[in-house]
Amino acid sequence: MQQPFSGEHTSGQPTSRRNVLAAAAGTAAAIGVTASSAPGTAQAAPPAPRSVPGRETGAEGGTEGGTEGNAPTTSSASAVHARAAALLQRMSLDEKIGQLFVIEVYGQTAETEHEGNRKLYGVPTPTEVIRKYHPGGVIYFDARRGPDNVREPRQIARLSNGLQRAAVRTGARVPLLISIDQEGGSVVYRMLEPATQLPGNMALAATRSTRDVYDSAEIIGTELAAVGINQNYAPVADVNINPANPVIGVRSFGSDTGLCAQFVSTAVRGYHRGGVASAAKHFPGHGDTDVDSHTGLPEIKHTRAELDRIDLPPFRAAIRRGVDTIMTAHIVVPSLDPSRVPATMSRPIVTGLLRGELGFKGVIATDALDMGGATTDFPPDVAPVRAFQAGCDQLVLAPQLDKAFAAVRNAVRSGQITEARLNSSVLRILEHKLHRRLFPSPYVSERRAARIVGSRRHRSRARQITERTVTLIRNEDGALPLPRTPATVLVTGWGTGPLAALARAIGERRGQLTTTLETGSRPNTAKIDEATQAARSHDVTVVLANASAAGKEDGAAQAQLIASLAATGRRLIVTGVRLPYDLRRFPDVPAYLATYNYGTPSMTALARVLYGEVAPHGELPVPIPTLDDPDRPLYPFGHGLHY
């Protein structure tokens, strides 16, 4: 797909590794050891837990291994600036340009030979990719995308150490920002078990607990830091006011701006306490769209007043809390930029609004430049230049990196991008790395990684949090809780993995005999008939619904399945395992719950709620509108039943 990049250092003075590292070590020592005063660092005390009668607030915020040791050191801004300026002065043009790019690499070790690296970069191993481009950052992905970087803690720590070793031994000897999208939940995540699985933003918002939000972010941050990942592209700061939103949904804290702002701020604190940089996304707000920016270019039609009231407050809150990075969105916002270019490419939005009006002084990162919202109108040699000219600092996943790199270099040499503009972004990135304490040693302990990731304390706390997320929305004629007398239970509907996890959790109870029948996202007549016949021979049927998995069909066939099951007269329980809006299609079902997540921990928590072992505590973070009138609520924001 991409041609190999052949450029080496083209300008600048030769770099002395000994001098740079020695100076960096001296500055790191001078930077001091407090963890609360620099931009982007967390305050020491966690937020007070919300007091709810009968609700267990969980353990205090400490985590195994000591999170204070992971927090960045700080100093006066002038000391960090001086050190960054000294590093910048020694960098060649190509080394400066390299710092702008965040790339992906293929393989589980720094020395793994992989065809993916050859195809993208013309060299076989991640180490050689780092040596060739001197990128400022790397982003990890799991095998679903292809790079296959994250398998287990020791392996991830070893990969991180290998990549850092390659970075500090070549070029300007600047450590990497190693990033990941680990939002929590079952939509955008990379690290699977043994990493602790947290329920995700909308589920957390259902608890209404700042303590749960804080602890969730801290656990994720602590585990990422342990394996050498120093930046998480989280939290999502979008306010999801559109039930048809195909790309945000449960990744958001919900539809209430105030709640989103509060929890975004809290999550930033939690990530910092855990020891990783945070990134609020997707600026200026991706919550009111029905187009996925991975495949198209959405338009946000909010007026400036609506943006100020709905979309911008969570970003303002993140900035006040000291968020390290803000990620731009590939969305058109005509009220902010009538030229109708994506926000990522818009100088009025990035420089005018984010830098100017909102006063953000941290790193601005693009969303992935290989997404449809960026590539449709901006080819590989145009998109990175336009994003940089708009005011972005980090260019994430630029397709055809050789072309992208050469385009930025040519823009600098021609004066299209001034060297002062280039230096300002590189300086900001270097300051960020100094604040995150990547100098002088960016390495982590593989042994400690194995001990921290998925620790008993983390898993216990995650279980407590997840149990509080389950929301009971409808419960007619005492359908729930289920009696603990012997019964046969049919577990059917969407999702092979979730169905198996729920059936296993139910079957652990004495006298409960489970049958699993997966019907898919768009069950046909034969599947509906099969499930209906099975329901007639079971005492209870539990259905998992997920309309989002059905695409444009939007769960209509799943609704037919549920109607057919209801007609049997047997006890029927339905659970929406992603968006709670699914209830619109079957509003008369006897019992309906929302988990906002279909991971195993959420299915285990659901089983406990079904049998009354845990009372449902969740409250809707979004209103559920009727199917025929999106402005008429079926159930309001904040609704939630209890036993």
Residue range 448-483, pLDDT digits in tens: 999 999 999 999 999 999 999 999 999 999 999 999
On the question of pLDDT at 595 being above 70, the answer is yes
Interval 517-531 mean pLDDT = 97
Tens of pLDDT, residues 530-586: 999 999 999 999 999 999 999 889 999 999 999 999 999 999 999 999 999 999 999
Question: Which residue among the candidates 148, 294, 377, 539 is catalytic per the annotation?
Answer: 294
What is the distance between the terminal CA atoms of the chain, rounded to a whole angstrom? Answer: 57
Q: Which of 215, 256, 324, 367 is catalytic?
A: 367
Residue 462 · residue 601 · CB < 8 Å? yes
Q: For 34-47, how does the pLDDT look when each residue is reduced to its tens digit (9 = 90+)?
A: 333 333 333 333 44
- Per the CB < 8 A criterion, the answer to whether 123 and 410 are in contact is no
Task: Say how far apart CA 361 and CA 363 lie, in whole Å.
Answer: 7
Instruction: Indicate if 294 belongs to the active site.
Output: yes
CA–CA distance, 200 with 619 (Å, rounded to integer): 15
Residues 6+ apart with CB under 8 A from 372: 292, 293, 294, 295, 296, 297, 330
Chain center to CA of 264: 12
Q: Letter for the amino acid at 349?
A: I
Band of the pLDDT at 292, cuts 50, 70, 90?
confident
288 annotated active-site: no
- As a whole number of angstroms, the distance between CA 622 and CA 580 comes to 8
Q: State the Cα–Cα distance between residues 7 and 2, nearest whole angstrom.
A: 15
Q: What count of other Cβ atoms lies within 10 Å of the Cβ of residue 551?
A: 11
Q: Which of 411, 389, 306 is nearest to 341 (CA)?
A: 389
Amino acid at 430: L
Residues in a beta bridge with 398: none
Q: pTM of the entire structure?
A: 0.88
Measured in whole angstroms, the distance separating CA 464 from the mean position of its chain's CA atoms is 21
